[in-house]
Amino acid sequence: MLSEFGFTFDAQIVLLLVIGGVVTLINRTAGHYILRRFEPIPYRVEAALEAVPIAVIICIIVPSVVNGGPIEWITLLFAMALSLRFGFLTSCGLALVLLLLLRNSGL
């Protein structure tokens, strides 16, 4: 059924997805139960948890900028300028729109 679209069913991929989902669920649940034991959360733990999303975004963005060309650098500078004025989601969203426009323009 899926092979008409160029996809083939592979049981190992499905197994990998299920195992990855279970491991992710265990990690998130364990983190919830560990943090529930702290009654107030220490300042350092809270600061570390707040830094995690930024670290993940940096790990995604930096390789594409370093290995990219002028389009990626322009987009990064645009996002940095926007972040001085707007929130995180607005800056990322507008930078993504600029990136798509620049890549589709043929520069």
pLDDT in tens, 24-63: 888 888 877 887 887 787 888 778 877 777 777 788 888 8
Work out the pLDDT band at 3, boundaries 50, 70, 90: low
Work out the pLDDT band at 86, boundaries 50, 70, 90: very high
Which residues fall within 8 angstroms of residue 72, CB to CB, at 6 or more apart?
64, 65, 99
pTM (global) more than 0.85 = no
Q: How far apart are CA 30 and CA 101, in angstroms?
A: 42
Token pair belonging to 73: 């650098």
Q: Are 33 and 25 in contact (CB under 8 A)?
A: no
